[in-house]
Amino acid sequence: MRDVAVIGAGMTKFGKFLDRSLKDLTREAVQEALDSAGTEKAKLQVAVVGNATAGLITGQEMIRGQVVLRDIGIGGLPVINTENACASSSTAFHLAWMYVASGMYDVALAVGMEKLYHEDKRRSFQAIGAAVDVEWVEQMAAAAKAAREAQGDGERQPTFEEGAGEKRSMFMDFYAAFARQHMQRYGTTKEQFGRVAVKNHYHGSLNPHAQYREVYTLEDILNSPVVAEPLTRLMCSPIGDGAAAAVLVPADQARQYSSKPVFVRASVLVSGADRAPDEPGTTERAVGQAYDMAGLGPEDLNVIELHDASAPAELVIYEELGLCPPGEGGKLIDSGFTKLGGPLPVNTSGGLISKGHPIGATGVAQIYEIYKQLRGEAGDRQVEGARVGLTENGGGMVKGDAAALSVHIFSL
């Protein structure tokens, strides 16, 4: 296997773009990636395109990558479509890396693209809710209905069935349940989850690509509307539209294109599996493989982009990445360890919470942020001296574990 480098990356601003198509968004991201790489469309030998929901939102199925790339003048080359829920484009990047590492192709394009906004917001949430075992969801809904009937008409919390997948992403109910379990087991507080959101909204305020750039206090976060206890709205990632792209070449050819390539030290993709409660989950398995592949550990990292679909998710992932022992994620966020200026900044882009989460674009957008950080091009959110970065991107859920999860490690 050959070593691989990223020589160019691009992305759009994330946001609500009802007047922009997938073609339009992807054109912008791909052109920036090519310009950054100092190469042309004609040099591309293979393209891998990640998208999750176009079929459910726009009706475009089966040949999404071919349709979009042909419209921007890229045709004739192999195009592979990857659909892996929120990990769709980190999966695309993994395949592009594999094509180059194997020696099959020398210039590969990885793309992530998504349009989640629709005039009917229920359609957006229902599309996201398809990233689960739908038979299991039906069973959960039946159990929730029984629980609601047993509660009677008195005051009660909304159950899984009420609003999940209709007024909000059902994944917020899952994240809320995991958060409550963490609180019960380790004494983690709602305020600690809130500090994750404070940090990421501040980081996002420094990122011109972020969907939301407002700065909030802890009081603001905690007093925003409750989505599913203990999650408030400002602790949750929004839906959004956007695209991101990256160009990969063999490491020994990288300096023909770029004076400062970013090298892929590890690329890992895993799926969930049946396991005992004390056995490692998808994140632990993926990051363990990535650390082994890179010959590095958490102590070597300078910057991380991880899958903070909710604030509690980020805090738990600290522990899963080995940044702290199990149960001490709350102490880590309290210490300021993961904010800009701290020893190991996490989600300098603003993360999914602030930068936004057009789910098929998220994986490559994380890679874009690390690419910019390692090249010293991240502007006001630059991590001084950043030389090693990691991305962690999960997608979907089966039996309480991520359906697909990818970890990448990069270095100068």
Active site residues: 86, 357
Strand partners, 180: none
Cα-based distances in Å from 404 to 113, 285, 290:
18, 12, 15
| CA dist., res. 26 & res. 46, Å (int) | 16
Contact 228, 176 (CB under 8 A): yes
Of the candidates 117, 9, 103, the one whose C-alpha atom is nearest the C-alpha of residue 56 is 117
| CA dist., res. 2 & res. 95, Å (int) | 14
Cα-based distances in Å from 379 to 47, 166, 209, 259, 354:
29, 39, 12, 19, 17
| Residue at token pair 């309480």 | 400
> Can you say whether residue 344 is alpha, beta or left, with left for phi > 0 and alpha for psi between -120 and 50 degrees?
beta
Of the candidates 111, 109, 112, the one whose C-alpha atom is nearest the C-alpha of residue 37 is 109
Tokens of 9: 């990356």
Strand partners, 48: 80, 110
| CA dist., res. 265 & res. 262, Å (int) | 9
Contact 203, 340 (CB under 8 A): yes
Tokens of 86: 């929120």
Contact 352, 206 (CB under 8 A): no
Contact 96, 367 (CB under 8 A): no
Tokens of 239: 């839906």
Of the candidates 262, 370, 267, 390, the one whose C-alpha atom is nearest the C-alpha of residue 320 is 390
Burial 256-293 (b: 16+ CB within 10 A, else e): ebbeebbbbbbbbbbbbeeeeeeeebbbbbbbbbbbee
Beta strands in 204-354 (DSSP E): 226-228, 231-232, 241-250, 262-271, 303-305
